[in-house]
Chain A
Amino acid sequence: DVKVTQSSRYLVKRTGEKVFLECVQDMDHENMFWYRQDPGLGLRLIYFSYDVKMKEKGDIPEGYSVSREKKERFSLILESASTNQTSMYLCASRKLAGDYGAGELFFGEGSRLTVL
């Protein structure tokens, strides 16, 4: 069974703390993504990585950075957490296909971050 695992389901952090969200996939997928999910806004892309050590900004990268040192792991970093980063964070992965990916995105269960 395919699996995308996010390290923490629930986190509570204080303003200004550095936060790491980890995501691991066991499917040998090239592409990995970080989205945030907010009510009424759907999913918005923060960053994606099309392969190891490769990354590109999504639609809302401000305040975030990412790291992809190994193919199976994609980390999202909040350098200095702020209250407006309270959200549900979803990691996803996808096998690279000929047309940049007609294939399915596989999602983790999400990490709900609260910044106080």
Chain B
Amino acid sequence: GDSVTQMEGPVTLSEEAFLTINCTYTATGYPSLFWYVQYPGEGLQLLLKATKADDKGSNKGFEATYRKETTSFHLEKGSVQVSDSAVYFCALRRISSYKLIFGSGTRLLVRP
């Protein structure tokens, strides 16, 4: 069945460091791909999305490119801030499906 695999956390970085959080997926067809973020004590919120191959989603300095050939959707940011500390979830949804399938989440901790 469909699945999403994320790198295990926690990921600990110093402020202004470069961030990559890996995400790969298994799905038939051409799913839509998403990154959600969960700040401490809050629910999840959409960070960015891409709906077809080679699309790049971007928001708040974060980027991810839909790579069909490697079935990946890695999250990147050039310079992280302490306020980026959160749990990041990669997710997919197949066309004509209601269901969003989530990865296990990656905790990011950014130190001043």
Residues of A within 8 A of B (CB): 4, 31, 33, 35, 40-45, 48, 50, 56, 58, 90, 92, 99-102, 104-110
Name the distance in Å between A7's Cβ and chain B's nearest Cβ: 14
Select B43's contact among A48, A58, A104, A110, beta carbons within 8 Å: A110
What A residues does B49 contact at CB under 8 A? 102, 104
Pick from A42, A56, A99: contact of B102, CB below 8 A. A42
B103 A109 Cβ-Cβ under 8 A: no
**B contacts with A, residue count (CB < 8 A):** 23
The one of A44, A99, A107 that contacts B96, using a Cβ cutoff of 8 Å:
A99
- Do B98 and A50 touch (CB < 8 A)? yes
A4-B43, A42-B89 are contacts. A105–B104 as well, Cβ < 8 Å? no
The digit string for B46-69, where 1 denotes a CB below 8 A from any CB of A, is: 100101000000000000000000
Q: Is the interface of B mostly helix, strand, loop or mixed?
A: loop
B99 x A58 contact (CB < 8 A):
yes
Closest B-chain residue to A99, C-beta based?
Answer: B95
CA distance A73 to B44 in the complex (A): 19
Q: Which residues of A contact B36 (CB under 8 A)?
A: 105
B27 proximal to A (CB < 8 A)? no
Assembly CA distance A87 to B84 (angstroms) = 25
CB-CB under 8 A from A110, the residues of chain B are 43
Q: How many Å from the CB of B22 to the closest CB on chain A?
A: 15
Known interface pairs A109-B42, A109-B43; 7 further A-B residue pairs with C-beta atoms within 8 A, sorted by A's residue number: A50-B98, A92-B44, A99-B95, A100-B97, A102-B32, A102-B51, A105-B100
Which residue on chain B has the smallest CB distance to residue A38?
A: B104
| CB neighbours of A44 from chain B (8 A) | 102
B104 and A40 contact, CB distance less than 8 A: yes
